[in-house]
Homo-oligomer: A and B are copies of this chain.
Amino acid sequence: MAKRLVDSLREAGYRLTAPRLAIIKVLEAETGHLSPAEVLEKGRAFYPALSRATVYRTLDLLTKLGLLRPIYLGEGNLCFIYPREGHHHLICSKCGMVVDFDECIAAPLGQALSERFGFRIESHLLEFYGLCENCQKDEQKQAGGD
Contact = CB atoms under 8 A, between A and B. Distances in A.
Interface string A116-146: 1111111111111111110010000011110
A129 B121 contact: yes
A144 B114 contact: no
Nearest to A124: B128
Contact of A127 (B11, B63, B120, B124): B124
A39 to B, nearest CB: 15
Contact of A76 (B70, B76, B120): B70
Copies per assembly: 2
Q: How extensive is the interface on chain A, given as a class?
A: 35 or more
B94 A64 contact: yes
Contacts of A69: 93, 129
B93 A118 contact: no
Contact of A125 (B11, B129, B145): B129
Contact of A93 (B64, B78, B103, B132): B64
Contacts of A142: 13
A16 interface: no
A78 B116 CA distance: 27
Contact of A119 (B71, B125, B128): B128
Contact of A92 (B94, B119, B136): B119
A108 B90 CA distance: 14
A-B pairs, top 4 by smallest CB distance, nearest first, are A13-B144, A13-B143, A121-B130, A118-B133
